[in-house]
């Protein structure tokens, strides 16, 4: 499927990028080598007249991607989460991409519902509206359940979207193959891996059961969060091509005039958006990774309502603790501790100098804290931080890329609501709360208990493991086969755990 039949799509893409002025911006952002620049111009300039014009009010790259259609829009959105590939400036520019596309006809939407629910629409919904929102992959309708009268939102995949995306993804693979063939040095950007990542993300979004599952997990995690609402999933009506959620009434966070007219507290809303993002990322390790204004509403009672769960982020507990310590170090201006955390986590090679790294981090933080609250930019901070950490040999932390990108978006949302938002002052309570619960004596005792519970599963084998350890000690000259290393590690861990547990018990009693 990645053969010559995609060449026309390739030419049309190059021509559109050339006509919209996006070609030069992309080549510059990627620092493309000469062979790639030449090939791009060959594919673009002679056929410029074939390119799509796009919206001249948009920046060049979003303008080109929007003109080329849904798959390109989604690809741009995914790239906006990868500043390690396109650079922080281009990532920020791509964040303006919106999923506002013409809706498909109501009759087609009803046909999908009837096919998925195996019956007429009226059997399930007493009312089924025209589309209220349309995106690159799906559109949303407002409906009323026939049995209970409750209002719900029905999200439906665009007809034929799977085939359309498959065609364009094949063209993306061809582009990636050509880039790596023409310029081996471009492999540092991993174009094939980027396209594979995009294909994986889109494959999940084309199955609305996956998004329903994400919404359900997010709903369970945030059920007790005051001031933040996630609509509940109607599982009995959610399928691969259709998802049903309870209807969430509210004003878009982008409509500042309406928010002011409704007398909502914009300062409070801005703080809530930022604090909830940090709470979910640090407390749960599972956060909404697409928190732009289009996916957030303010309910009549002032609660923030989250929508669209196609892109979610997940980080493990250890990484959360590292991230919290780094944030708190910057908040407290303890750059030495920030540097030490990087080294302890293995983010920076051990042969680098901690003091020099701390000094470089000070050059990141101090200018930020010297600014007025309204001028502090998380985008600029992260861009400079990327530059410094790369200079000290820090490898790309893929688990943090989405977190960092979302932080920038959330800051933008908060700042749009409250231009004077001080991100450090707002973030500090959530970070300190997490650190108090996750780093200290209570956290150590909890970790010890978890470790003991895991090791207890080996209880029936402990006599054999202990005997194997004693035999090994009796014959120290005989090397231990690699196959026995796990047993030795388990025995050692059990001993350490029991010793710590005994010490803890003695200190308590």
Output the 3-class SS for 405-461: HHHHHHHHHHHHHCCCCCHHHHHHHHHHHHHHHHCCHHHHHHHHHHHHHHHHCCHHH
Angle separating helix axes 441-456 and 423-438, nearest 10 degrees: 50
Angle separating helix axes 161-182 and 70-79, nearest 10 degrees: 60
Q: Which helix (H) or strand (E) holds 466?
A: helix 462-474
Contact indicator for 439, 325 with CB cutoff of 8 Å: yes
Q: Considering only CA atoms, which of 333, 217, 332, 239 is closest in space to residue 286?
A: 217
**CA-angle at 299, arms to 298 and 304, nearest 5°:** 50
Phi, psi of 346 (to 5 degrees): 80, 15
Name the maximum alpha-carbon separation found in the chain: 83
User: Which ranges constitute the DSSP H helices of 118-255?
Assistant: 161-182, 191-205, 208-222
290 is catalytic: yes
Angle separating helix axes 317-331 and 423-438, nearest 10 degrees: 130
Contact indicator for 63, 22 with CB cutoff of 8 Å: yes
Beta carbons within 10 angstroms of residue 182's beta carbon: 15
Contact indicator for 165, 73 with CB cutoff of 8 Å: no
Spatial distance between the Cα atoms of 267 and 425, rounded to a whole number of angstroms: 13
Spatial distance between the Cα atoms of 425 and 12, rounded to a whole number of angstroms: 49
Contact indicator for 427, 331 with CB cutoff of 8 Å: yes
Alpha-carbon Rg for the chain in angstroms: 26
Spatial distance between the Cα atoms of 176 and 375, rounded to a whole number of angstroms: 39
The token pair that represents 173 in the structure block:
């693979």
The token pair that represents 345 in the structure block:
């986590």
The token pair that represents 379 in the structure block:
């985008």
Which residue of the set 290, 316, 418, 447 is catalytic? 290
Catalytic machinery residues: 290
């Amino acid at each position: 499927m990645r053969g010559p039949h995609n060449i026309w799509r390739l030419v049309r893409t190059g021509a559109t990028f050339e006509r919209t002025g996006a070609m030069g911006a992309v080549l510059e952002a990627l620092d493309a080598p000469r062979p790639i620049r030449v090939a791009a111009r060959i594919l673009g300039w002679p056929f410029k007249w074939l390119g799509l014009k796009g919206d001249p009010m948009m920046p060049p790259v979003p303008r080109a991607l929007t003109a080329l259609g849904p798959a390109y829009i989604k690809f741009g959105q995914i790239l906006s989460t990868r500043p390690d590939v396109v650079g922080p400036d281009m990532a920020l520019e791509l964040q303006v991409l919106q999923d506002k596309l013409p809706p498909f006809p109501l009759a087609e939407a009803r046909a999908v519902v009837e096919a998925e629910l195996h019956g007429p629409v009226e059997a399930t919904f007493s009312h089924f509206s025209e589309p209220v929102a349309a995106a690159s992959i799906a559109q949303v309708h407002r409906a009323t359940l026939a049995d209970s009268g409750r209002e719900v939102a029905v999200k439906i995949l665009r007809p034929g979207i799977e085939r359309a995306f498959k065609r364009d993804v094949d063209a993306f693979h061809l582009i990636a193959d050509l880039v790596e063939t023409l310029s081996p040095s471009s492999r540092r950007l991993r174009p094939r891996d980027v396209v594979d990542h995009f294909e994986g993300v889109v494959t999940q979004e084309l199955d609305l059961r996956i998004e329903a599952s994400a919404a359900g997990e997010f709903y369970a995690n945030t059920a007790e969060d005051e001031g933040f609402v996630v609509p509940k999933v109607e599982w009995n009506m959610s399928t691969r091509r259709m998802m049903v959620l309870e209807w969430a009434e509210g004003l878009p966070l982008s409509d500042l005039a309406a928010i002011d007219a409704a007398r909502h507290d914009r300062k409070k809303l801005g703080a809530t958006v930022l604090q909830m993002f940090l709470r979910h990322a640090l407390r749960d390790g599972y956060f909404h990774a697409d928190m732009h204004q289009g996916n957030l509403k303010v309910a009549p009672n002032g609660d923030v309502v989250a929508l669209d769960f196609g892109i979610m982020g997940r980080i493990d507990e250890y990484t959360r603790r590292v991230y919290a310590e780094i944030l708190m170090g910057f908040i407290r201006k303890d750059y030495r501790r920030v540097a030490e955390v990087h080294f302890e986590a293995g983010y920076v090679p051990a042969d680098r100098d901690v003091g020099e790294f701390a000094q470089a981090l000070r050059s990141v933080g101090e200018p930020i804290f010297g600014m007025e609250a309204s001028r502090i930019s998380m985008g600029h901070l992260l861009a400079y931080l990327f530059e410094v950490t790369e200079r000290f040999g820090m490898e790309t932390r893929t688990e943090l890329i989405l977190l960092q990108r979302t932080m920038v978006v959330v800051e933008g949302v908060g700042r749009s609501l409250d231009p004077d938002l001080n991100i450090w002052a707002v973030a500090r309570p959530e970070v300190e709360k997490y650190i108090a619960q996750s780093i200290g004596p209570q956290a150590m005792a909890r970790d010890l208990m978890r470790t003991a519970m895991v090791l207890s599963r080996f209880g029936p084998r402990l006599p054999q493991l202990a005997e194997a350890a004693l035999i090994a000690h009796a014959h120290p000259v005989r090397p231990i086969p690699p196959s026995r290393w796990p047993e030795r590690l388990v025995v050692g861990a059990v001993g350490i755990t029991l010793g710590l547990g005994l010490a803890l018990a003695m200190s308590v009693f």
